[in-house]
Amino acid sequence: MFDAILRILALTRKELLAVLKDRRSRMSLLVPPIVQALVFGYAASYDLNRVPYAALDQDRSAASQELLAGLDGSGIFERVADLHRVSDLAAYIDDRRALLVVQIEPDFERRLLSGAGADVQLIADGRNSNTAGTALGYVSSIVEQFNAGWRSAHGLAAAPIEITSRAWYNPNLETRWNMIPGMIGTLTLIQTMMLTAMSVAREREQGTFDQLLVTPFRPYEIMAGKALPSMVVGTIQASGVLLVAQLWFRIPFAGSYLTLYIGLLLFLLAAVGIGLLVSSVAVTMQQALLYSLLLIMPFSLLSGLTTPLRNMPLSLQYFTALNPLRYAIDITRRVYLEGVGLDLLWPDLWPLALIAAVTLAAASWMFSHRMQ
């Protein structure tokens, strides 16, 4: 047993040297995850901080000006035009000069003073549904503030129900609080699976795989020697993204690092198992890269990173049960934001352990079969 451990460690050292001896290889493994985490933190955001809008104020009263001033003073909306005709609306939406057009009817203030409801029409550019929906939500919030101020200033009866909202785990509803913890698993999967898949293919392509066959290494020792370096690199990459989340974006960590890394360990085992399964099928590095990319895209789309799993068709929800990234994202988000423990993560941990066991066993069988 001790000799087997020494052989595995020797092969692990050889794999790490093969990956890290080249400066460009070191940079490609360590720098991209950090850069991608920074890019996603700033670019992949549904939060809006500048919404160009045009106003068609047909009333031009003090009330309509007060409502538009609420939009202008929000720090989110920027008025790019004051329109005078209804026929001008289409041009600003079609040319993307305005995301929203706010149309106020001529009798806006009169209807408010009489106690009747007044209508404000919002015309949004629906070509980007997420952005339009978020912008409409911001406008609705500002209109509610205007309503409250108007009722208070004019002695009108308060609304029978007052809603006080509070968001748990993400008080300001910032997208990056949801995105960056999920990127810990996503970026780790990409690098770990590709590195593992290409390791055996590189041996075959360089002609050194036959040399391994005449060494005292057993098949499981070769697999372990190929898997451990990828897991080490994956752990370092996950730690890098974690540091970016905490030190750069200042997203507070609510959970236990031990719990997080236990979940990541099972996830890395599953990712390495899939990578070894791919490497046992691929003959060249080009094939290993192609097969890995074919798996990474559906894994990412069906992981719940950007869209909730419950919104997917039921058949796809069943299919996501085979996706290790689905469980990794749930683990990282719940540990990072909610601070949950292992007892509550069990529904995510046992599927990862099962996927790792099945893929590693299948890779071992295919590896032994091809060696024979």
How are strands ordered across the β-sheet holding 77-82?
Answer: 77-82, 51-57, 100-104, 120-124
226/265 Cα distance (integer angstroms): 16
pLDDT at residue 129 greater than cutoff 90:
no
Output the pLDDT for position 161: 46
Among 32, 49, 24, CA closest to 244? 32
Q: How far apart, in Å, are the Cα atoms of 106 and each of 100, 103, 153?
A: 19, 10, 22
With a cut of 90, say whether residue 116 has pLDDT above it: no
Least confident of 58-72, 189-203, 247-261: 189-203
* Average pLDDT of the segment spanning 219-237: 82
Question: DSSP letter at 337?
Answer: I
Cα–Cα distance between 198 and 203 in angstroms, integer? 9
Distances in whole angstroms, Cα of residue 176 to Cα of each of 127, 321, 327, 331, 353: 23, 25, 19, 17, 29
Residue 302 scores a pLDDT above 70: yes
Section 280-299 average pLDDT? 84
Dist CA 340 CA 68 (whole Å): 44
More confident residue, 331 or 16: 331
Distance of alpha carbon 156 from the chain centroid: 46
Averaged pLDDT, 132-157: 81
Residue 94 CB: number of other CB atoms within 10 A?
A: 10
Task: Read off the pLDDT of residues 168-226 as tens digits, 9 standing for 90 and up.
Answer: 788 877 888 888 998 999 988 988 888 888 777 777 777 666 666 666 667 677 777 77
Give the mean pLDDT of 29-56: 78
More confident residue, 176 or 347: 347
- The 3-state DSSP class for residue 174 equals coil
Q: Which residue has the tokens 């993560």?
A: 345
Least confident of 61-75, 194-208, 302-316: 194-208
CATH fold for the domain made of 51-153: abc type-2 transporter like fold (3.40.1710)
Over 90: is that where the pLDDT of 264 sits? yes
Given a contact cutoff of 8 angstroms between Cβ atoms, the answer to whether 200 and 193 are in contact is no
pLDDT value at residue 330:
93
Q: Is the pLDDT of residue 158 over 70?
A: no
Res. 341 pLDDT band, cuts 50 70 90: very high
Provide the percentage of residues in the chain whose pLDDT is more than 90: 25
pLDDT of residue 156: 66
* Residue 175, pLDDT score: 80
Residue 346 in this model has a pLDDT that exceeds 50: yes
- Most confident range, picked from 96-100, 140-144, 320-324: 320-324
Is 90 exceeded by the pLDDT of residue 153? no
- The 8-class DSSP code of residue 57 comes to E
Three-class SS of residue 55? strand
pLDDT for 13 beyond 90: no
Using a pLDDT cut of 70, give the percent of the chain over it.
86
- The answer to whether residue 47 scores a pLDDT higher than 60 is yes
Q: What average pLDDT score do residues 22-50 get?
A: 72
Domain ranges, ordered by start, for the chain = 2-44+174-371, 51-153
Q: Quick one: average pLDDT of 40-61?
A: 81
Q: What is the pLDDT of residue 323?
A: 93
pLDDT in tens, 237-250: 899 999 999 999 99
Query: Which of 195-204, 293-302, 355-364 shows the lowest per-residue confidence on average (mean pLDDT)?
Result: 195-204
Question: Which H or E run includes 42?
Answer: helix 23-43
| Terminal-to-terminal C-alpha distance of the chain | 24
